[in-house]
Amino acid sequence: MTGSKTSEISTMDQISVRHYVGIFLLSIATLLLELSLTRVLSVAMFYHFGFLVISTALLGFAVSGVVLALWGELRERTPLDRALVWVSTLFATLTLACFWLMG
């Protein structure tokens, strides 16, 4: 009985570590995109557009936090694995679409 509890706990720890790694990688990708857009817009255009990128990113983080705080059902209903897959795919698609439109 103790052995089964230990295996259940270790399985739960592996899943949570995997989730943390996914969230970390998605966060790093977002920050690197913001940093690269800030650099490109500062060099190509006036430096004021760098502040626009930072302000828009902060607005996006704030809006997502407010949506998750007010709409708790969305958090509880959707499994974290599925949510990470959808968010990562949406982020990659929108990033590539924006660069394709700009280029």
Each residue's pLDDT tens digit, 84-95: 888 888 888 888
Rounded Cα–Cα distance for residues 28 and 33 (Å): 8
SS (H, E, C) the chain: CHHHHHHHHHHHHHHHHHHHHHHHHHHHHHHHHHHHHHHHHHHHCCCHHHHHHHHHHHHHHHHHHHHHHHCHHHHHHCCHHHHHHHHHHHHHHHHHHHHHHHC
User: What percentage of the chain reaches a pLDDT higher than 70?
Assistant: 84
Q: Which residue has the higher pLDDT, 28 or 102?
A: 28
49 contacts 41 by C-beta, under 8 angstroms: yes
Task: Report the chain's mean pLDDT, rounded to a whole number.
Answer: 76
pTM above 0.85, yes or no: no
The distance in angstroms from the start CA to the end CA of the chain is 61
Per-residue pLDDT band at 6 (split at 50, 70, 90): low
